[in-house]
Amino acid sequence: MNASGQAFLAARDTLIKYRADYAQAVKHFTWPRLEHFNWALDYFDEMARGNEHTALVIVGGGTTRTATFAHMAKRSAQVANHLRQLGVKRGDAIMLMMGNEPELWETMLAAIKLGAPFIPCSVLLTPKDLADRMQRSGARHVVTVPEYAERFTASGGARVCVGAKTPAGWMNHNAAYQLPEAFKPDGETRADDAMIYYFTSGTTSQPKLVVQTHASYPMGHLTTMYWVGMKPGDVHFNLSSPGWAKHAWSSFFAPWNAEATIVAMNMDRFDAKVLLQCLADQHVATFCAPPTVWRMMIQQDLKAWKGKLALRELVSAGEPLNPEVIARVRDAWGVTIRDGYGQTETPAIIANSPGQKLKEGSVGRPMPGFHIELLDGDGKTADEGEVSIALTPERPVGLMQGYLQDAERTAKVMRGGFYHTGDVAMRDKDGWFTYVGRADDVFKASDYRISPFELESVMITHPDIVEAAVVPSPDPVRTSVPKAFVTVKAGTQITPEFARAVFVFERKELAAYKRVRRIQFVDDLPKTISGKIRRVQLRADEAERRAANQRGEHEFLEEDFPDLKQESK
């Protein structure tokens, strides 16, 4: 292993050594500063040489496919040789669009070896979405599966299909397996060369194009590994679809940084029982899922699974997880779900790592290697403010290089010696952070500042409510009032009596100025491809509805029930 690989491994081993001792991890961990680094060549291939431990398990479609670390190293070398043969050069961008298939991991490793930035794409993207991404990124090369091939227009570059059938004008991925199992790079990979182009999930605007680099991004996910609590030999399952940054976080870099087995799953439609069976069958030790999944899982009899599972660490990411969900899983399994926080632009930067004291509702403390401040509107430190990463005295590893071809937006978020996340949090006297919400989601009602997340956390403690999203609803007297869009358990009848009961419930749990004044029951909440609730869409729709003086279907107002005060605390 060369000097760069050794420096990476030393940093990793420090975090594994202190995986349950936060204070010592912060004290001893430092980021390696490298001039050249290629994670796939300098670390993965060296770690994988002769390593017959299972690296990857893909479950779904009635089959289970596995691959060892040694196999993945050889396959990715063949794929890199094939892509080079088809004209892919260092610096060329490659669009990747497929489900959880071994070929996806082979191609991501191959692209890194080539020095060709790859662009993970959700299978939900439309031809229009893909055309925009190709135009903005400059990508000409595509690797996909036959069912999605027709969504791509002619690109003038390599067009590779994974699977038995090969559409006209496309090359088959399997041709790579006839090529040599060793790959020779055309030169060294600079640490600041682009490795991945991410399009953000676009909750409030057109997706931004995030540039992550070769040394910074995979090395940055040492903190993700630390947060989850992975160690060599673990079996890790991250429930995520390709195309979301969290897939690279916890279904690629972090587990293989730890030399852990990755389990991935394909489900046409989410089924909690199928998921639980997979956790049991694969002896999963560390498990990560988004809040939406956790909320659906607690609808099952989790206690019945306790003796069948090998789970040691549970984490949640994407949005903060409501305390009620955490409590119910802990009651069933005796394991506490630990929240973590990061963005497409970063790895895990604030989290509850193993061995830390857990505070109710807190997202944790800054990860080793990150200095986090909360900044108010004047750019001064405060106990509540925008989560901001200090860029001095040294820029932390894992932070994006910037937004591609958007110097103005990059400068805006990197202003004043900080990277500004756009998220608001509070910090207590002991240094624990509590998430408040996106700066764009927090609103005022009667001059009181309202955090949607706080109200949503109360709403979902109602036994018949599955999910809730709170937004401001325009009001002629109070400027705006909190309105909750709510989904309920299957079989729940939406009646005025039920709506009144929900109003009574939340009024007993919330201070008067925070109370939800309007409730609309819906079948589904709008979400991004990464599973985040699009409150911006609900907010816009609500403003339009109120301007037209319309009431939504299955919407109830507190004034519909004039006797509510009798049952308030």
Compute the mean pLDDT over every residue in the chain, rounded to the nearest whole number: 92
Distance CA 526, CA 510 (A): 25
Contact between residue 224 and residue 245 where contact means Cβ atoms under 8 Å apart: no
Looking at beta carbons, which pairs linking 505-509 to residues 24 or more positions away fall under 8 Å?
A: 505/462, 506/455, 506/458, 506/459, 506/462, 507/564, 507/567, 507/568, 507/569, 508/567, 508/568, 508/569, 509/458, 509/461
Q: How far apart are the first and last CA of the chain?
A: 66
The tens digit of pLDDT for each residue in 394-431 reads: 999 999 999 998 999 999 999 999 999 999 999 999 99
Contact between residue 483 and residue 517 where contact means Cβ atoms under 8 Å apart: yes
Global confidence as pTM: 0.83
Distance CA 141, CA 432 (A): 45
Check residue 168 and give its pLDDT: 92
What is each CA distance from 156 to 119, 153, 429, 491, in whole angstroms? 17, 9, 58, 52
Report percent pLDDT > 90 for the chain. Answer: 77
Distance from chain centroid for Cα 204: 17
pLDDT bracket for residue 445 (50, 70, 90): confident
What's the CA angle centered on 123, arms 121 and 129, to 5 degrees? Answer: 60
The tens digit of pLDDT for each residue in 525-562 reads: 998 766 778 888 898 899 999 999 999 999 999 999 99
Query: Quick check: helix, strand or coil at residue 555?
Result: strand
Q: In sequence order, what are the residues at sequence separation of 6 or more whose Cβ sits closer than 8 angstroms to the Cβ of residue 198?
A: 119, 120, 209, 210, 212, 245, 344
State the number of CA atoms in the 13 A half-sphere of 106 facing the CB: 28
Average pLDDT score over residue span 11-38: 96
Query: Quick check: helix, strand or coil at residue 168?
Result: coil
3-state SS, 93-110, equals CEEEECCCCHHHHHHHHH
